[in-house]
Amino acid sequence: MGFLLDRAKSIYCFTNTLPSIHTGYSKTGMSVQKTFLFSIDFEEFETLPSQENFRQTPLPTLAKLLLDFLKKSQMVTTFFVVGKVARAYPDIISAIFDAGHELACHTDQHNTLNTLDPSKFRVDLEHNRAALLSAAPRAVVTGFRAPLLSLTPQTSWAYNILADLGFAYSSSVLPASNPLFGWPGFGTTPRQINGIWEVPITLGSGWRRSLPFAAGTYFRCLPMRWILKEFERSEKIASPIVGYFHPYDADIHQQYVLHKEMVRTPYLNPLLYWGRKQTIPRLRMLVEIGFVFDRYDHHFKKTRTYARTEGNERAFL
C-alpha cells in the first residue's frame, strides 16, 4: 500500500513519540516538505431553535485540546473564525494568535454565501474582521473561508468584495459536486480570480475523486488505509494537501441533534458524529509519518507565491 501506510502501521504499533524533523525525500534524493494545509473552522455546532436543551459546543475545552495537540506536534495552522464566536470568546482568539496561528475570516454570523448579497456580505465581512482584530490587534487578517464551502459560480461575486477589502486569498471551493455546495468545473489547483487566490480543497482519486479525504467528516469516516494512500499520492503533487476541521470534530461527548444545515439532507447528519474519537489520533498519525501542518500565509511565503505588502494587506506574486 506504499511507504506511508507501512510507516503509519509501524508508528501506530510501536511508538507514541513525535519526531523532531518533519521532512521526506523525493525520488531524486532531494529533501522535500510534505505540507498539509490543515485548518480549523472555528464555529459552533448550530442546530434548530426547537432544540432548546442542546448543550452548546464547549469551545474553550475544544480549543485547548486542539492548541495542545498543535503545540506538542510543533505545528501551526490557520483558524477561520466566525465573528460572533470571536466576540463571545475573545480570550480564546487571543490565545490562538499568541500561540503562533493565523487568524482568518469565516463570516460574521456563519451564513452561507447564497443567503447574502454583495452589500450584506461586505458588511458581514467587515464585522468579522473587526471582531478578530478586537481580540488580537496585532493580527494580519487577509484570509477567508465561506461557510460550508458555499463559494460557487453563483456566488463568485464574493471575490470582488474580498479584493476591495484587501483580502489576499480564499479557501472556499469544493471543486466537485456535493449535496450542499460545490464548483465541479473549478479545477484542483489554486488560481487567481479578480485578484484573490482561491485555494480549493484537495480531492481523492479514482472513483472517490469527489471526496475531500483530508477534511472533517470525510477524514473521520473514510477508511484510514485509503486516506493514507491518498496522502501518499497527493504528496507527489506540487500543491499542498488542503483540508479543514471543526472543533466539534473532536467533541466526543456532544448529544445527538440535527445540524441546521442538514434539514434537507437529514440522512447525512449521523456522519457529523461518526468517528470523532479518531480525529486527534488520526491527525497525530500524519504528524508521525512526516507531514507538516502549516498556516496558509506561511506556506505561500515559503513557496515564494505570497508576499507581505503595506498595512493589513498581502498579495500573491
Answer yes or no: are the C-beta atoms of 203 and 195 closer than 8 Å.
Answer: no
Q: Tell me what pLDDT residue 201 has.
A: 96
Q: Does residue 246 belong to any structural domain of this protein?
A: yes
Lookup: cell for 251: 467533541
Q: Tell me what pLDDT residue 251 has.
A: 95
Number of folded domains that form the chain:
1
Lookup: cell for 307: 508576499
User: For the packed helices 118-135 and 90-98, what is the interaxial angle rounded to 10 degrees?
Assistant: 70
Q: Tell me what pLDDT residue 248 has.
A: 96
| Angstrom distance (rounded) from CA 299 to CA 38 | 11
Q: Does residue 314 belong to any structural domain of this protein?
A: no
Q: Does residue 4 belong to any structural domain of this protein?
A: no
pLDDT digits (tens, 9 = 90+) for 233-271: 887 777 789 999 999 999 999 989 999 888 888 998 999
Q: Does residue 309 belong to any structural domain of this protein?
A: no
Mean pLDDT of 33-40: 89
Q: Which residues make beta-bridge pairs with 39?
A: 78
Q: Which of 200, 156, 158, 145 is nearest to 178 (CA)?
A: 200
pLDDT digits (tens, 9 = 90+) for 140-164: 999 999 999 999 999 999 999 999 9
Mean pLDDT of 180-193: 91
Range of the domain at 279: 32-304
Q: Tell me what pLDDT residue 178 has.
A: 83
- The CATH code of the domain that includes 228 is 3.20.20.370
Q: Which residues make beta-bridge pairs with 37?
A: 242
E strand or H helix that includes residue 191: strand 191-193
How many C-alpha atoms does 95 have within 13 Å on its Cβ side? 16
Q: Does residue 20 belong to any structural domain of this protein?
A: no
pLDDT digits (tens, 9 = 90+) for 278-304: 999 999 999 999 999 999 999 888 775
Mean pLDDT of 222-232: 92
Q: Does residue 37 belong to any structural domain of this protein?
A: yes
Lookup: cell for 194: 479578480
Q: Does residue 9 belong to any structural domain of this protein?
A: no
Question: Three-state DSSP class for 34?
Answer: strand
Q: Does residue 281 belong to any structural domain of this protein?
A: yes
